[in-house]
Amino acid sequence: MKDPVQPTIGPLAFQDAPVPVDDPNQWLRAASRTLRHLARCPHLSDTTTFVVVSAAELDRYEVCQWCADEAAGVGRKYFTNLEDALEAFHMPLENRRRAREVAAAHRHDKIWTNGARTYIALALGDGGMLAQLGKSWIWTWDNGRELLPNHTSSRSSTTRSADQRAASVCPTCSVQLPATGICDTCG
C-alpha cells in the first residue's frame, strides 16, 4: 500500500512570525531532512518546503534542541501581568494597544516569554497557548495570524554575499553553517 501524500507548507512567508499553520505546536520537518521542528522554531527558513509530521510519525524524527527546550519550557520567563511582559519583551509602543486588546479578549492565567524571547504567550490552565504576541505580529488560536502595522519581512532586500552566508553560525550547535544556511548537524 502506498504512503499517503504528506501535506507540505512552504516556502514560508517570513521568518519572524510563526509558520502559517493552524497550530504553533505543529511538528514540521524540511522535506529533505529528518529533524523535526515546532512550527514556531527559529530554524525554519523562508525558502524551504516543509512536511507536516503526523502524530504517528513523531518517533521517526529526532527533535531539534531548540524545540526540545521550547516544548519542555526551558528558559521561559513567567509574568504576573501583561504590562510587565510587554515591558520586558520590549514590545513596540505602537503595538501594545493591540496586544492588550487580544489579551483582554482571551481568558488566560499564564503569561510568559519563551526561551528565545521571540514572543509573549498567553495560556489557560494546562492547555496550550491561546495567543502569541510577537513584536510585529499576533497569533491567536481562534483567528490565526495578524500582521501589525510595523511588520516588515526579516529578509533584507539586498542579497548577502557567499562570504557572509558562510560566516553564519548555527544558534543550536555553534557549527559554521554552509552556504545553504541549513545546519548539517541539526538539520
Q: How do residues 88-144 score in pLDDT, each as one tens digit?
A: 999 999 999 999 999 999 999 999 998 888 899 998 887 677 899 999 999 888 888
Q: Are 67 and 36 in contact (CB under 8 A)?
A: yes
CA atoms of 145 and 159, how far apart (whole Å) = 27
At 153 the pLDDT is 62
pTM to 2 decimals? 0.54
CB count in 10 Å sphere of residue 71: 12
CA atoms of 150 and 136, how far apart (whole Å) = 6
CA atoms of 165 and 171, how far apart (whole Å) = 14
At 154 the pLDDT is 52
Q: How do residues 33-85 score in pLDDT, each as one tens digit?
A: 888 888 767 677 655 677 888 888 888 899 988 888 877 778 789 999 999 99
CA atoms of 92 and 143, how far apart (whole Å) = 22
Q: Are 11 and 49 in contact (CB under 8 A)?
A: yes
User: Where exactly are the structural domains of the chain?
Assistant: 8-72, 77-142
Q: How many CA atoms lie within 13 A of 125 on its CB side?
A: 1
Distances in whole angstroms, Cα of residue 43 to Cα of each of 80, 86, 93, 122, 143: 30, 24, 28, 23, 25
Q: Are 130 and 108 in contact (CB under 8 A)?
A: yes
- Quote the cell numbers at residue 131: 495567543
At 162 the pLDDT is 45
DSSP code of 58? G
